[in-house]
Amino acid sequence: MNIERFRGDTTPIRVKITKKKVPLDISGFTFLLTVHTNQMPDGNDYAIQVAATIEDGPGGLILFDLQAEEVDRVGLFYYDMQLTDTQGKVLTFKVGTMKFKQDITK
């Protein structure tokens, strides 16, 4: 899934977690969104790394709340989203590009 946003937009990124098109109960899970300038990074110098808030555990809905200083950038970045379930198992469930476009209003 590729994401496009305008520079500085802080509207949360909402994601629905499903299994076979049915919402997955994610109560007790943790989630990370990591954004990097390099598609194959060799270090932890992320452009953005933010944990998600579970908005509806049984409904599988999370949101990544981005802060102004995190999204004050323009360009093409690479991201992944990972979950850790209640057993400590890690799964990367989304990858793609995140493009921050220049806007007019500063």
Residue ranges and CATH numbers for the domains of the chain are: 3-101 (2.60.40.3350)
pTM of the full predicted structure?
A: 0.92
The whole-angstrom separation of Cα 105 and Cα 103 is: 6
Give me the tens of pLDDT residue by residue for the chain, a chain 106 residues long. Answer: 899 999 999 999 999 999 999 999 999 999 999 999 999 888 888 999 999 999 999 999 999 999 999 999 999 999 999 999 999 999 999 999 999 999 998 7
Return the residue matching tokens 């990972």: 82
Task: Give the Cα-Cα-Cα angle 67, 45, 92 (nearest 5 degrees).
Answer: 80
- Per-residue CA distances from 53 to 6, 12, 15, 27 (Å): 22, 10, 11, 11
